[in-house]
Chain A
Amino acid sequence: MTRLWSAGRLTYLALAVTALMSIFPIYWMFVVASRTSDAMGQVPPPVTPGGNLGANIARLFANTDAYFLTGLINSAIVAGTVTVSVVFFSTLAGFAFAKLRFRGRNALLLVIVATMMVPTQLGVIPLYLLMTKLNWNDRLPAVIVPALVTGFGVFMMRQYAGQAVSTELIEAARMDGCNTARIYWNVVLPALRPAAAVLGLLTFMTTWNDFLWPYAVLNDPENPTVQLSLRALSDGYYQDMSQVFTGTAIATLPLLLVFVAFGRQIIGGIMEGAVKA
């Protein structure tokens, strides 16, 4: 008996149909982005790329309602900063929870797990009032600072550090006179690198995609994230669909590139997290 059930033709057929439905909306986004705006009214709808992508991109970046370039730059700044911060603080705290002994460790870890279940999105109103007080409304710190840490990241790094960081190595480093900070930097961080990379990728994608909180707090149309630029495009008085779709395609492209380059690792991270959670 084989270890796994073999896959018959029907299995492949079903998977192929699923894959097609998964990919089609993304593919079609690029189709419309590369055509003229009258493509929307055509029957049957066009399913092959046209030659108008360059012109659409030019019009998109010239659009004075969307501030698309500013949106792209802002999103890169926000997602980049948040990713570095989440990875740093998560590896630090994950290491402490997995490998250091201190009073209240288990109780505090439980608090972290509980925070993953809390719908913090419901706190947007006081958060908005807080940002008004800090004078951060309409400015990037308003979307960066609240995202600097996540319970998910700490928990994920704690789970991984438990198995990936050797206790003997830590002890040996201590014997050699390393203080805890040195141990983190020279022993723990290198061992955590694979999982930290996955956490970084997931964080980057989540932050890049975030919509609700930026929508609440960044009300200045001249200073959007890229997702807010998309909203401005799609809510416009006249909808030029090839231009809107060019925007959605460009906003999606960085995520697709990350996914194509690191898909295997991302899948591994999601599946490992599922077994442990």
Chain B
Amino acid sequence: MAVQLDARPPVAPAPGTTRPSRGARLSRFDTRYSPYLYIAPFFLLFGVFGIYPLAYTFWVSLHDWDLLGAEHPFVGFDNYSQLLADPDFWHSVVNTLGIFVIATIPQLLLALWLANLLNRQLRARTTWRMAVLIPNVTSTAAVAIVFAVLFGRDFGMINWLLDHVGVDAVDWKANRLASWVAISTMVDWRWTGYNALIFLAAMQAIPRDLYESAAIDGAGRARQFWSITVPLLKPTIIFAVIISTIGGLQLFTEPRLFNSGTNAIRGGPLRESQTVTMYMFENAFAPHYNFGYGSAIAWLLFALIAVVAAVNVLLLRRLGGGARKEEPR
């Protein structure tokens, strides 16, 4: 034991050289309270810079609060009632939900399909996985700028390709639906591979013998996929949907940089692709600096995220529950 002690720097005086009572007291203090010391930084910093601002947003939303005003009078729910009657707000809600639906549904289906491919016996396994994940590690802003050019009206590569199959040039920025498709493409490009790896991890945890006995019972690959893989992946799918909901409804960087110039924060001259977070920005920061109104937008978006996440979970539970009955034993 003495040898072991010598191997590391002496950290505490050897027992017997100091009064044992003091050492014991220190040690008891250490075991009892040091855990709190170790977790305190997280709670302190997250409290001050994470939770407090979110909660205080509600307080600000009850006031007529702008950058220059010396006073900010309490106005109750005025900001909210004004917001509910604001067509630009609802316009941004529809944009956000539209982009969310167009992006998320194909993305998760593609990710499932891709995970199923990656779950086979592959040569150069890691290389394929890296190839599908690489979009996720690139800079969002950089990619948004590149896609904005790819989707350009006059010289964009997408229109050039479409021209070859006889489709007329699409004005991706000026057409509302087209701008949703373009932005959804960016989102899917970034996240499909990531979700595929998450699904792949869950697929690898499914016992092989389930498939073997299903194969003996005469179930083909497709049948096995829908009757075994998908139901057993349900918790992971729900997880992915919740994460996509939280991220997707707050979408900001992609639509903001898809547009450029003076109207960028409005998502184009007619707000073709303005999301709720962009509308919050437009009101809370330059040019308006209306913090009260912006905060009300933030809280309604919060509510929207909660509602959509809950609806998604309920829908998915139903879906999985139906499939479970067909699951082979």
Contacts and interface: CB of A to CB of B under 8 A. Distances in A.
Closest 6 CB pairs of A and B: A123-B53, A248-B142, A19-B131, A146-B49, A271-B201, A123-B54
Interface residues of B, number: 105
Interface in B280-318: 280-281, 284-286, 291, 294-295, 298-299, 301-302, 305
A188 B135 CA distance: 34
B267 to A, nearest CB: 14
Contact of A255 (B4, B132, B138): B138
Contact of A234 (B50, B145, B198, B252): B145
B34 A181 contact: yes
B167 interface: no
Nearest to A95: B38
Given A118-B50, A231-B257, A271-B200, A252 B132 contact: no
Given A126-B53, A274-B198, A205 B137 contact: yes
B108 interface: no
Contacts of A146: 45, 49-50
Interface residues of A, number: 108
A124 B253 CA distance: 15
Interface string B237-277: 00100100010001011001100110010000000000001
Interface stretch (B8-16, B83-91, B95-103, B172-180): B8-16
A236 B189 CA distance: 26
Secondary structure of the A side of the interface?
A: helix
A108 B36 CA distance: 10
B171 interface: no
Contacts, number: 308
A129 interface: yes
Interface of B: 1, 4-5, 8, 11-12, 14-15, 26-27, 30-32, 34-36, 38-39, 41-43, 45-46, 49-57, 60, 114, 117-123, 126, 128-135, 137-143, 145-150, 155, 157, 160, 189, 193-194, 197-198, 200-202, 205, 208, 212, 215, 221, 236, 239, 242, 246, 250, 252-253, 256-257, 260-261, 264, 277, 280-281, 284-286, 291, 294-295, 298-299, 301-302, 305
